[in-house]
Copies of this chain bind each other. A is one copy, B any other.
């Protein structure tokens, strides 16, 4: 049992200091931490919402996408500045987390108990953030039009493939030839340059009302395919790092399961739609439409995760499928408040976990990383910008916007950095360089995307978009 080491928190002490232990049913020991974990979660959520609103509104006033304000706000309250919203993976002691310290002080907890509570609260916030992207992608799926998406499907695939091959090649070759990095770490860093952050890009597109434009649909489609390609690249690189050779069988399995999943979801969609509407019509209790739809999104997320895809791909597919029903409008309306509550947790958390300390050139050990980082950022931007010119048969399309839309790397790049450094493939400067690249592409993309989309001359059904920027 993990709780042995916290027996220092005696029951007497608990009764003494916290008479209102109450109300989780059947919570006997060892769940004595529950009220403190709840307190930590409540304080963290209050921080998240205050941050997201202040950041989002300021960003909006500066005529920038609100999500940028949420990200920057996250940086302000996170590891880089105020230390309000902290996570155990960023910090060794809870004295770094103001919320954890407050909870410890209020509950008179000893160090072990406080650490346990801190970990519990961070875990809850992390899962809520993950549910946030799941709901975001479900909403994006609901807003996307499957027929529109299929029309641009081939273009999206080309954009995705170009956007994986170019940065990977440029990055790997450049690192080896210019910086004399050994081949395997170079491949790892090159791989980290491939996957676009679908969450950030789609949120910005939605906020700008451009999700349904041709450019928007190509970007979202390409980002989804990109995500699948990223997972395959990760599998290849990880097996390379481990055994020095590529596990072809696993790669083939991933390709088949990913394509099978996405195509299967779409083909089964029509069949499922009829059943879904019939079920929703029969239900008589509250949430008759919402609960089956939300459960469907969770089932698809789970299923995607089980076959080693990303959970968010499942949620996106679920949204695409349900978008085809005539309940779509009603569902949109009901999902919106849930997204409003959960999605900010994701973006603020992303900002809070980004450690801008690696950007400080005054720290000697950062400098090597910063030079490599400058190179990686250049490759990251150029390697995705070119994808816009890979689009064909779409005269008058905003090629620049497509390229810019693919720039943000977000979370997947950091997973590469984390796995690479944990398995000893990446040294500290190269890992720091990847993190800097991810942070900068993530924060630069929203304003750049707004800039390139402004005055974009494409047809778009503006009446149809979500009131995301009202």
Q: Does B19 contact A250, Cβ atoms closer than 8 Å? A: yes
Contacts of A470 in B (CB 8 A): 284, 286
Q: Digitize A271-307: 1 where CB-to-B-CB distance is under 8 Å, 0 elsewhere.
A: 0000000000001111100111011001101100110
Chain A positions 397 through 430: 1 when the CB is less than 8 Å from some CB of chain B, otherwise 0: 0000000000000111011011101110000000
Which of chain B's residues have a CB closer than 8 A to the CB of A45?
295, 298
Is there an interface contact between B254 and A19, defined as CB atoms closer than 8 Å?
yes
Residue of B nearest to A20 (CB): B308
Instruction: Report the minimal beta-carbon distance from A83 to chain B, rounded to whole angstroms.
Output: 15
- Whether A368 sits at the interface, judged by CB under 8 Å, is no
**Chain B residues, CB < 8 A from A334:** 336-337, 340
Interchain CA distance A415-B120 in the complex, whole Å = 21
A223 shortest CB reach to chain B, Å: 13
Mark interface residues in A340-356 (1 if CB within 8 Å of B CB, else 0).
11001000011001110
Tell whether, in the assembled complex, residue A308 and residue B28 are in contact, meaning their CB atoms are under 8 Å apart. Answer: no
Pick the contact of A38: B26, B305, B421 (CB < 8 A).
B305
Which single residue of chain B is at the shortest CB-CB distance from A435? B26
A382 at the interface (CB under 8 A from B): no
| Interface status of A252 (Cβ within 8 A of chain B) | no
A422 pairs with B28, CB closer than 8 A: yes
> Which residues of A, 108-132, contact B by the 8 Å Cβ criterion?
115-116, 119-120, 123-124, 126-127, 129-131
In the bound complex, what is the Cα–Cα distance between A299 and B116 (angstroms)?
23
Chain A 221-257 near chain B by CB (<8 Å), digits 1 or 0:
0000000000100110011011000000010001000
Q: With a 10 A CB-CB cut-off, give which of A56, A241, A355 has the most chain B CB atoms.
A: A56
What's the Cα separation between A366 and B16 when bound, in Å?
A: 32
Provided the pairs A39-B305, A302-B42 are in contact, do residues A287 and B23 lie with their beta carbons within 8 angstroms?
Answer: no
Q: Which of B34, B123, B291, B312 contacts A53 (CB 8 A)?
A: B291
| A interface with B by C-beta (< 8 Å) | 1-2, 5, 11-12, 15-16, 18-31, 34-35, 37-39, 41-43, 45-46, 49-50, 52-53, 56-57, 60, 66, 87-90, 106, 115-116, 119-120, 123-124, 126-127, 129-131, 133, 231, 234-235, 238-239, 241-242, 250, 254, 283-287, 290-292, 294-295, 298-299, 301-302, 305-306, 308-312, 334-338, 340-341, 344, 349-350, 353-355, 410-412, 414-415, 417-419, 421-423, 435, 467-470
